């Protein structure tokens, strides 16, 4: 695959953002209760966190191919997402407070959108042949049909 990675990354990120929004959407409905927020919180602590870790590992493997500004931006956004998800763990009773829950999850969505755009901008111009095998393997885990089909 010598095509730029941007289309693969954009497609995968669009699906990821839609998935996260789908997990959070029930908490925004009128009358949403504690259990809706609890389900969303469990998603963020498990599925979302695992995906973010895999994506950060993929980016870390290509760091040498990026310029200083890209490295700094991706590091800062990755750390922000980590801090926000850790904040979820420390807000006791967060599921009981709809407004506070909405504030934190809104920040996570905003940071995720910035992260995805920064990854697409930094890695998008790269071709699979030019990135380390480790990153390509991680990208294949995140978007197997995209990588194996040649984008």
pLDDT tens digits for range 20-35: 999 999 988 888 888 8
Residue from 84, 82, 101, 83 nearest 92 by CA: 101
Which residue, 61, 51, 68, is CA-closest to 13? 51
Structure confidence at residue 87 as a pLDDT band (50, 70, 90)? confident
pLDDT exceeds 50 at position 151: no
Q: Which of 123, 134, 136, 133 minimizes the C-alpha distance to 10?
A: 123
Distance (Å, whole) CA 79 – CA 59: 13
Is residue 148 pLDDT above 80, yes or no? no
Q: Which of 87-91, 102-106, 109-113 shows the lowest per-residue confidence on average (mean pLDDT)? A: 87-91
Residue 14, number of CB atoms within 10 A of its CB? 11
Query: Higher pLDDT residue, 122 or 97?
Result: 122
Domain ranges for the chain:
6-148
- First-residue to last-residue Cα distance in the chain: 8
């Amino acid at each position: 695959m010598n095509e730029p990675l941007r289309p693969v990354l954009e497609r995968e990120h669009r699906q990821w953002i839609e998935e996260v929004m789908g997990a959070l959407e029930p908490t925004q409905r009128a009358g949403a209760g504690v259990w809706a927020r609890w389900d969303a919180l469990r998603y963020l602590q498990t599925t979302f966190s695992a995906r973010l870790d895999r994506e950060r590992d993929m980016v870390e493997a290509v760091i040498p191919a990026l310029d200083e500004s890209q490295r700094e931006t991706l590091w800062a956004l990755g750390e922000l997402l980590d801090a926000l998800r850790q904040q979820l763990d420390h807000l006791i009773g967060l599921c009981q407070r709809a407004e506070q829950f909405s504030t934190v999850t809104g920040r996570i969505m905003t940071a995720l959108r910035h992260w995805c755009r920064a990854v697409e901008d930094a890695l998008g111009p790269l071709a699979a042949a030019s990135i380390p095998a480790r990153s390509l393997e991680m990208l294949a885990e995140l978007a197997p049909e995209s990588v194996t089909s040649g984008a």
